[in-house]
Structure 1
């Protein structure tokens, strides 16, 4: 799968989350769970579209997805060496440029979706951070997502 499912945009999502203070689980209201879940589902759909767009960009630039993944993994690991041709380097750079543009647009869309849901970006981040460590909150969100 492209870089591993949702890796690029998940990284963006978690970069956006950053570090926030954690609150007690009881501080997350049912309404906030609903708002968070609706927004999360929308983000997942946009992420799927973005994955498709990324595949198309890679193909349009003339590179195979598997080769892009290999090169990208090597680029992300300073100890690894990617044996690139000049053409592959040019293709890779064009793909990364397009990816960076997509990430900026994705971030804007995420922030817009969050505020449209009735949550502030800060509050969404707090809930997302707490969700990573709170099993009860995870269960509440899971139940909301399956409703």
Structure 2
């Protein structure tokens, strides 16, 4: 798919862990790559609307993911412990064979869900008249450009 998958994956797994970030983030840019981009108010408004709608999609995703984890017999906290450990090759965690199988089943089901939510988020971005690439550029710029952050915050509050 497109590089925007990083943003979608980032939002998806933070929703699962219950900590949705304030602004969508991607991989950190190297200092020499960081450059100020021109963004007019209309484009920033589109970003703000897309971001707000994506937060709603993310909340819906979080509810569905938590329900799935519970349906499989996990407590959210225990699933998150096992999942974090599974993502870190340097971390080991004690778990039963049953937990290991349950975790694998949940992760597979979450992967299927992720495709649905990813498509929905891409739709939201495009419905606002932004390309996925431009949305990603704006999200990256917002990580380091305080003036742009302030403009976005003012648009979202007003």
TM-score bucket (shorter structure): 0.7 to 0.9
Unaligned runs of 5+ in 2: 1-14
Q: Deviations over 1:93-138 (max 9, x none)?
A: 1111121122222221121111110111111111111011100000
Selected match of 1:5 from 12, 19, 24: 19
- Normalised by the size of structure 2, how large is the TM-score? 0.79
- Normalised by the size of structure 1, how large is the TM-score? 0.84
Partner of 2:71: 60
Partner of 1:46: 57
Structure possessing the higher relative contact order (Cα contacts under 8 Å, 6 or more residues apart): 1
Measured in 1, the distance between the counterparts of 2:41 and 2:35 equals: 15
- Does the Cα contact within 8 Å between 2:36 and 2:145 map onto a contact in 1? no
Q: Deviations over 1:62-120 (max 9, x none)?
A: 11111101111211221221212121111111111121122222221121111110111
User: Does residue 119 of structure 1 match 2:130?
Assistant: yes
Selected match of 1:76 from 62, 68, 87: 87
Unaligned runs of 5+ in 1: none
- Does the Cα contact within 8 Å between 1:22 and 1:126 map onto a contact in 2? no
Measured in 1, the distance between the counterparts of 2:99 and 2:111 equals: 18
Between the two proteins, the alignment pairs up a number of residues equal to: 140
Name the SS of the counterpart of 2:144 in structure 1. Answer: coil
User: Does residue 24 of structure 1 match 2:36?
Assistant: yes
- Does the Cα contact within 8 Å between 2:18 and 2:62 map onto a contact in 1? no
